[in-house]
Amino acid sequence: MTNQDLLAVAKEFGSPVYVYDAEKIAFQYNRLKNAFSEVKDLRIHYAVKALSNISILKFLNSMGCGLDTVSVQEVMLGLKAGVDPKDIIYTPNGVSLEEIEEVVELGAQINIDNLSILEQFGAKHPEVPVCIRINPHILAGGNAKISVGHVDSKFGISIHQMPLLLRIVENTGMNINGIHMHTGSDILDIEVFLRASEILFDSAKNFKNLEFLDFGSGFKVPYTEGDIETDIEELGEKLTHRFHDFCKDYGRELTLVFEPGKFLVSEAGKFLAKVNVIKQTTSTVFAGVDTGFNHLIRPMFYGSHHDIHNISNPEGKQRFYSVVGYICETDTFANNRRIAEITEGDILAFSNAGAYSFSMASNFNSRFRPAEVLWYKDKAHLIRERETFEDLLRHQVIIDLGPPASE
């Protein structure tokens, strides 16, 4: 997508607007597949929560990609997209037994991450195969907000509780068909990931009927030029080797599963916003845009970096701006960032806006959530309309209590 393409999208669909490059998504999918091409049975399950638009799910599924879901609603979105329930893994945490049972009815593979529900489920449905999420107690990335595998994490069953886990499995007679881990986002060090994998292999040895090993995700993508990223190719080489060894010892070829979200869609997304106002104070030049953390919360929520380009004036002289939103809260997208000279009305493009961007948008300040556009073969396809006032009113029940009675 060139700047001209993006400007044309902003012109046609208005701002703010999310734009996703389908070819970039396909590129990332194939890159991961190629990195593990030596694995006989590799399954990639896209983590729906990163970007849950049905057209994106359909596009990924058309390439053979399955889905990883964390709620019954995401499972339903996947089914709506035409995905075979057998290609959907359900990896919730802290949900009710009833929700898990609903998902079983829908036909997806379930994954259980705590002993209490495992025991209740196994007692009631010993015939339903279950995958187990373990917590390997390994911290993948440096950012505690997005790491989910360390000791105090609420995710997964602690490997130290393996004896208890095995007793539950034996007592209920349930069938464990997969072992899963997801150590969280931003794997910077492949050795750390491999160490966690060893723990997964170790845990897997306890179960005789496994069909797959699910290594989760957390691949780091670059956020700016020259930024570090997970070396997928190196990981592919090393993990494939270990996986083959494990399967030989185990006595059977297993399926290797990944469930990337960010890796597949982060870089494919651009978020376009218009500059409403340039506000010069004594110390700072603010560029106020027609959006805020209601539409893109990652910078404020995770402290994440999004490159920002002025696509209306890309060759302009570089100046320093603080890019801020229009929400009645401090919502700073970037502090004193070098950006090509901005004039009111210019369109700014935020990079890495594919993952956890639209999917975390809200109606705070009663703003409409933006439109989404899928860019494919040099054409813009609208895949979500901008909301309207009707959407804000939907489900509101307007009652009239009259004024409170006076004493």
Ligand X SMILES: *Cc1c(COP(=O)(O)O)cnc(C)c1O
* Catalytically annotated residues: 328
Nearest to 311 by CA among 342, 280, 268: 342
Q: For ligand X, which is the closer residue by CB, 22 or 257?
A: 257
What x-and-dash track marks residues 262-281 binding ligand X by CB under 6 A? xx------------------
Q: How far is the CB of 218 from ligand X (least distance, A)?
A: 5
DSSP 119-172: HHHHHH-TTS-EEEEEE-----SS-GGGB-SSTT-SSSEEGGGHHHHHHHHHHH
Q: Does 182 bind ligand X (CB under 6 A)?
A: yes
Cα 218 to Cα 118, 153, 259, 283, distances in angstroms: 25, 15, 9, 39
Q: Does 147 bind ligand X (CB under 6 A)?
A: no
Q: For ligand X, which is the closer residue by CB, 236 or 325?
A: 236
Q: Which two tokens stand for residue 311?
A: 């696509």
* Rounded CA separation 121/42 (Å): 28
Q: How far is the CB of 314 from ligand X (least distance, A)?
A: 30
Say if CB 112 and CB 174 are below 8 A apart. Answer: no
Q: For ligand X, which is the closer residue by CB, 310 or 351?
A: 351
In terms of phi and psi (left: phi > 0; alpha: psi -120 to 50; beta: otherwise), the region of 216 is left
Q: Near ligand X by CB under 6 A, which window of 12-20, 257-265, 299-307, 370-378?
A: 257-265
Q: Which two tokens stand for residue 55?
A: 């057209």
What x-and-dash track marks residues 354-373 binding ligand X by CB under 6 A? -x------------------
From candidates 31, 33, 49, 386, binder to ligand X by CB under 6 A? 49
Residue 180 phi/psi, 5-degree rounding, is: -135, 145
What x-and-dash track marks residues 59-88 binding ligand X by CB under 6 A? ---------x-x------------------
Say if CB 33 and CB 42 are below 8 A apart. Answer: yes
Q: Near ligand X by CB under 6 A, which window of 24-32, 45-53, 55-63, 382-390?
A: 45-53
Q: How far is the CB of 9 from ligand X (least distance, A)?
A: 25
Nearest to 13 by CA among 385, 291, 276: 385
* Rounded CA separation 291/270 (Å): 14
Q: Does 47 bind ligand X (CB under 6 A)?
A: yes
Q: How far is the CB of 193 from ligand X (least distance, A)?
A: 12
Q: Which two tokens stand for residue 140?
A: 């993948």
> What is the size of the binding site for ligand X (CB under 6 A)?
18
Q: Does 259 bind ligand X (CB under 6 A)?
A: yes
Q: Does 218 bind ligand X (CB under 6 A)?
A: yes
* Rounded CA separation 221/234 (Å): 15
From candidates 91, 183, 197, 357, binder to ligand X by CB under 6 A? 91
Q: Does 216 bind ligand X (CB under 6 A)?
A: yes
Q: Which stretches of the chain bind ligand X, using CB under 6 A? A: 47, 49-50, 68, 70, 91, 182, 185, 216-219, 259-263, 355
